[in-house]
Chains A and B, each alone.
Chain A
Amino acid sequence: MKRLLIVFLTVFLTSVFAYADKHVNLGDRASELKEEGKSEDIHPDLKEIRIMHPNFLMHKRDKTLRQGIRTKRNSLKACVNCHSATDQNDEFMPIDQSGQFCSTCHQKVGTSLDCFSCHRNTPKEDL
């Protein structure tokens, strides 16, 4: 029941934005990949990832945490690695910071973004 409700609400809220083709701040690595024309290898269907990413992440988190399945697909680390942007000092800015990849949309649709109260919000130290 709860799952259905979440699916419904996310679909409802995000479908409006899922069709816009532009994103203000894609992040450094993701921008590069897009320029190289490789972004479709990762996200074949932009609409899908925009609407369904909360479900993908939720599904993935349970598998990883509870069953030890550690595949790269839909891993939050991978999201952060590609979609983080650097500032003028060449340091990564937190992805949930205002104006950055996650928060631009989340602020627009007014949904809370709870991942980064625990998860690291920048790529790994040595990247």
Chain B
Amino acid sequence: MSIIRYEQTQGKSLGFYALIAGLGAFILAALGSVYFMEHNGHHVTGMSNRIVWGLPHVFALFLIVAASGALNIASIASVFNKKIYKPLSRLSGLVALALLAGGLMVLVLDLGRPDRLIVAMTEYNFNSIFAWNIILYNGFFVIVGVYLWMMFERRMNKYSRKVGIAAFTWRLILTTGTGSIFGFLVARQAYDAVIMAPMFVIMSFAFGLAFFVLVLMASYKWTQRPLGDAIVNRLSNLLGVFVAAVLYFVAVYHLGNLYLAENAGVESFILMDGGIYTQLFWYGQIVLGGVVPLALLYSPATKGNRSMLGLASVLIILGGIAQLYVIIIGGQAYPMELFPGKEMLEGYGGIAAYTPTLAELMLGLGGIAVALIAIAYLVKFLPFLPESLADDVADPHHKN
């Protein structure tokens, strides 16, 4: 096998600076939104005492879930010893860290008192899944950071497999923890399901890989480095498998819920008469985020077409955001069953209204921009990207 040579990107072109400027504008808009929200209080958002987590949480959790998924490429190389993914490992670790940083930024800046972040870091309630998540996120930074170091430092290469296994284990626990934030909420019919945790793990596989594929293709295209079909087609196949798995889990989750009479109400709300949530579920999550990408990835007409793979990845990301919107906001909009067997006439109940504001949207998009700007800058300063991923470099056994 030929030696993989990693090299920084130039990062001097007009395009690079345009990209940075564009992302910078999004970040500034996000910071402006945060100032607006925190200065006035959350009354300027669409959130309320019924919809306590709004659009920022949708973006934050999407990014956090995708972050752990983006590390998969490195894990496949180190844990499962698939050599062809090895050259992608460094980028995989980078995308994972960048996405997590973006997600956490959104999560923290949407707190009621972000100025008290120090409290969150010093006061731990070990019964709280949330507190566990704080530890898991911080640990993820450390472990993936060490992992990257093992990969960069030639002397340390021999440890990279061991650290890779640790990182893989950690990320599985992390996404389980993220899913459990919802899975353990006994009071809410939409959430009280242990399947939430594995479903979030599978979602992370799909969202993280979609994000990774886009970053990979864009950076090789913009830096004019060769990127062979061998590797791209493999990623494409893998992406298809993950998307199908997400659909499977979604089906099991809803079928399981439908079986229980107590959950019939919330299920018919999400699946049939929930207005925007039903539309987002069927058109956004299932059709755009599931069926169409699968068709694009596997149908003979579009298979192997880079643009179609890019389109599929974008749709998976949009579908993923729709999915989290339905889970997080749809799940809150439907009222809790306070008095089973009774109809609520006054005081509580009804579908809670939620209209996201521009500030919330900009904060969420700012998280994505932070992730992208971190990637764009770090590939410029450190050799994350192999100078070539042409077929004969990436896969010596590849036959044209």
In their complex, do chains A and B touch, with some C-beta pair under 8 Å? yes
The B contact surface, by secondary structure, is helix
Provide the bound-state CA to CA distance between A94 and B122, in Å.
31
Task: Please measure, in the bound complex, the distance between the C-alpha atom of A2 and the C-alpha atom of B116, giving whole angstroms.
Answer: 13
Number of interface residues of B (CB under 8 A): 2
CA distance in complex: A2, B121 (Å): 10
Q: How far is the CA of A82 from the CA of B210 in the complex (A)?
A: 63
For the complex, give the distance between the alpha carbons of A1 and B122 in Å. 9
Return the CB mask of A1-29 against B: 1 if under 8 Å, else 0. Answer: 11000000000000000000000000000
Size of interface on A: residues with Cβ below 8 Å to B: 2
With the chains together, A2 CA to B118 CA distance in Å? 10
| A-side contacts of B118, CB under 8 Å | 2
Interface code A41-83, partner B: CB below 8 Å = 1, 0 otherwise? 0000000000000000000000000000000000000000000
Please give the distance in Å from A20's CB to the nearest CB on chain B. 29
B37 to chain A, nearest CB (A): 16
A2 to B124, CA, bound (A): 13
Which residues in A have their C-beta under 8 angstroms from that of B122? 1-2
Interface residues of B in 86-143 (CB under 8 A from A): 118, 122
Question: How far apart sit A1 and B118, CA to CA, in the bound complex (Å)?
Answer: 13
Distance in angstroms between the alpha carbons of A69 and B118 in the assembled complex:
27
Q: Write out the residue numbers on chain B whose beta carbons fall within 8 Å of the beta carbon of A2.
A: 118, 122
In the complex, per-residue mask of B53-90: 1 if CB is within 8 Å of any chain A CB, else 0: 00000000000000000000000000000000000000
* B123 to A: closest C-beta gap in Å: 9
CA distance A2 to B119 in the complex (A): 10
Q: In the complex, A2→B216 CA distance in Å?
A: 43
Instruction: Specify which chain B residues have a CB less than 8 angstroms from the CB of A1 in the assembled complex.
Output: 122
| Closest CB in chain A relative to B93 CB, distance in Å | 31
A1 to B124, CA, bound (A): 14
Interchain CA distance A68-B118 in the complex, whole Å? 26
Bound-complex Cα distance A100 to B122 (A):
32
Task: Report how far A77 CA is from B291 CA in the complex, Å.
Answer: 63
Q: Which residue of B lies closest to A3 (CB)?
A: B122
CB distance from A113 to the nearest CB of B (A): 12
The distance in angstroms between the C-alpha atoms of A77 and B276, with both chains bound, is 49
B169 to chain A minimum Cβ distance, whole angstroms, is: 29
A118 CB to nearest B CB, Å: 10
Complex Cα distance A2/B122, Å?
7
Interface membership of chain B positions 149-187, coded 1 if the CB is closer than 8 angstroms to chain A and 0 otherwise? 000000000000000000000000000000000000000
Determine how close the nearest CB of chain A comes to the CB of B203; give it in whole angstroms.
36
- Give the CA-CA distance A22 to B122 in the complex, in Å: 37
CB distance from B168 to the nearest CB of A (A): 32
* Complex Cα gap A24–B122 (Å): 36
Distance in Å from the Cβ of A107 to the closest Cβ of chain B? 18
Kindly state the separation between the CA atoms of A17 and B293 in the bound complex, as whole angstroms: 67
B85 to chain A, nearest CB (A): 42
Instruction: Kindly report which residue of chain A lies nearest to residue B121, judged by CB atoms.
Output: A2
- Chain A's nearest CB lies how many Å from the CB of B118? 8
Closest Cβ of chain B: how far from A28's Cβ, in Å? 32
**Chain B nearest CB: distance from A50 CB in Å?**
24
Minimum CB distance partner of A117 in chain B: B113
Name B113's closest neighbour in chain A (CB-CB). Answer: A117
Q: How near does chain A come to B113, taking the closest CB pair, in angstroms?
A: 9
How distant is B124 from chain A, measured CB to nearest CB, in Å?
Answer: 12
Could you give, for residues 291-320 of chain B, a 1 whenever the CB lies within 8 Å of some chain A CB and a 0 otherwise?
000000000000000000000000000000
Q: In the complex, A118 Cα to B344 Cα: how many Å?
A: 34
Alpha-carbon separation in the docked complex, A2 to B123 (Å): 10
- Residues 275-301 of chain B, each 1 if its beta carbon lies under 8 Å from chain A, else 0: 000000000000000000000000000
Nearest residue, chain A, Cβ from B119: A2
Specify the chain A residue showing the minimal Cβ separation from B122: A2
Nearest residue (CB) in A for B123 is A2
A105 CB, min distance to chain B CBs, angstroms: 20
Quote the shortest CB–CB distance from A1 to chain B (angstroms). Answer: 8
Q: State how many angstroms separate the Cβ of B112 from the closest Cβ of chain A.
A: 11
Q: How far is the CA of A80 from the CA of B319 in the complex (A)?
A: 55
- Nearest-CB distance from A94 to chain B (Å)? 19
Chain A residues in contact with chain B, CB under 8 A? Answer: 1-2
> Which residues of chain B have a CB within 8 Å of any CB of chain A?
118, 122
Smallest CB-CB A-B distances: 3 pairs: A2-B122, A2-B118, A1-B122
Q: Can you sample 3 A-B contacts with CB below 8 Å? A: A1-B122, A2-B118, A2-B122
